[in-house]
Amino acid sequence: MQYQHVTISRHGGSDVFEMVMDERPEPRAGEVGVRVLATGVAFTDVLIREGLYPGLPKVPFTPGYEVVGIVDQLGPGVAGLDIGQRIAALTVVGGYSEYICLPEHECVSVPPEVDVAEAVGLVLQYVTAYQLLHRIAKVQPGDLILIHGAAGGVGTALLELGHLAGLKMYGTDSASKHDLIANLGATPIDYQQQDFQQQIRRLTPNGMDVVFDAIGGRHLLGSYQTLAPGGQLISYGFSSALSAQWGRLLIVGGSMGLLTLLNIWPDRRRAVFYNIADLKRRQPNWFRDDLMSLLDLLVDGSIQPIIADCLPLTDAAAAHDLLDHAAVRGQLVLLCNETFQANSSKPESKSLPVEHPSALG
């Protein structure tokens, strides 16, 4: 049986994507074969496409950090999953595909009643937000937090989960996204027209308890300077490397070096770096427990992921173009063809229009 999947044979822009046909692999011992229903598209995937993410396989490979799908094959020795069971998994690569083989222990059961587009958004972006808040920062009700890129996938997840945790929230993003940030309970700051450090000093003279920064580079220093005594800067990405014309890897390495230097400074503040895949390797039970907790919140309506758009798998390049132009509010999802066709006949819910790249300058 043949199947379609997206591959990249070189690193670069969205034009590196190719849709190819291959013979479907059979699951090995301890693995299950999964028919993919949905896969997420996030800035992490852009870093992978550009070759800026650590530990990547050699090209060619299939990108795709997260999937929700249905088990349709069982390899030898699999006992905990059944044919027809819906699962989610953090794949890191391989998700932009109609079918994938996964180790049984990597799969987390997904309730059948939840929407697949909302469920897949939990795997990377909501688990990241949950762990940033509760595993790394260990926030307490009333804490003041600043989120850069607050209207993006992780940003909106941080806002929604931060509201549940009783936090006072501030979020930077472009003015066109301030309505979304305000609706999610935060004070918006226009980073394009305002100095966010000055705004924070004006709004909160004592500074932030926690700042979440996915921009990296020299931006980390400004984030650190907004912290209150005893505050925490948590870095979880390097989006500034994507806009650099030179020295992209230098920005990534320099960000890590700057975080180390900031921790040497004796001022009671700390700076740490978070990577979901690294924490999952070190604490695999945390990932499973946190994803299951989020699925429970999704089932009971406590969280409602904002879906910017659902596109067919064949439009992976178009999805990346939207991210490249900062045209996404919430989360982008790729649906495999039959899932996309079934989903397109349903009324849209909890989704926001994406901004057309040509309007962004």
Q: Which of 178, 177, 129 is nearest to 154 (CA)?
A: 129
With respect to residue 135, please indicate whether it lies within any of the assigned structural domains: no
Same domain, 262 and 287: no
Same domain, 46 and 14: yes
Tell me the CA distances in angstroms from 353 to 121, 171, 328, 339, one per residue in order: 17, 20, 8, 20
What pTM was estimated for this model as a whole? Answer: 0.91
Quote the pLDDT of residue 132.
98
Tens-digit pLDDT profile for residues 10-62: 999 999 999 999 999 999 999 999 999 999 999 999 999 999 888 999 999 99
Q: Token pair of 24, please?
A: 């479907």
Answer whether residue 265 shows pLDDT above 90: no
Q: Which long-range contacts (CB under 8 A, 24 or more apart) does 197-204 make?
A: 197/222, 197/225, 197/226, 200/146, 200/170, 200/226, 201/226, 203/170, 204/144, 204/170
Same domain, 106 and 149: no
Quote the pLDDT of residue 240.
64
Quote the pLDDT of residue 142.
98
DSSP letter assigned to residue 131: I
| Calpha distance 326→320 (Å, rounded) | 10
Q: Token pair of 99, please?
A: 């079918």
With respect to residue 136, please indicate whether it lies within any of the assigned structural domains: no
Compute the average pLDDT of residues 203-224: 92
Q: What is the CATH number of the domain that holds 79?
A: 3.90.180.10
Q: How many alpha carbons fall within 13 Å on the CB side of residue 256?
A: 7
18, 9 Cβ separation under 8 angstroms: yes
| Calpha distance 166→189 (Å, rounded) | 20
Same domain, 265 and 157: yes
- Scan for tokens 């020299």, then name that residue: 218
Quote the pLDDT of residue 349.
42
Q: What is the CATH number of the domain that holds 192?
A: 3.40.50.720
Residue that is last in its domain, among 254, 274, 294: 274
Answer whether residue 361 shows pLDDT above 80: no
| Calpha distance 305→350 (Å, rounded) | 7
Instruction: Give one DSSP letter per residue of 144-204, joined into a string.
Output: EEEEETTTSHHHHHHHHHHHHTT-EEEEEE-GGGHHHHHHTTEEEEETTTS-HHHHHHHH-
Q: Considering its fold, how many domains does the chain have in total?
A: 2
| Calpha distance 239→260 (Å, rounded) | 19
Task: Give the amino acid at 308.
Answer: A
Task: Give the amino acid at 186.
Answer: A
Compute the average pLDDT of residues 275-292: 97
Q: Quick one: pLDDT band at residue 250, thresholds 50, 70, 90? A: low
Strand stretches in 91-131, DSSP E: 99-103, 108-109
Query: Among positive and negative, which fits the CA dihedral 340, 344, 348, 354?
Result: positive
* Structural domain range at position 223: 141-274
Q: Quick one: pLDDT band at residue 249, thresholds 50, 70, 90? A: low
| Calpha distance 294→127 (Å, rounded) | 8
Q: Quick one: pLDDT band at residue 325, thresholds 50, 70, 90? A: confident
Burial 27-55 (b: 16+ CB within 10 A, else e): beeebbbbbbbbbbbbbbbbbbbbebbee
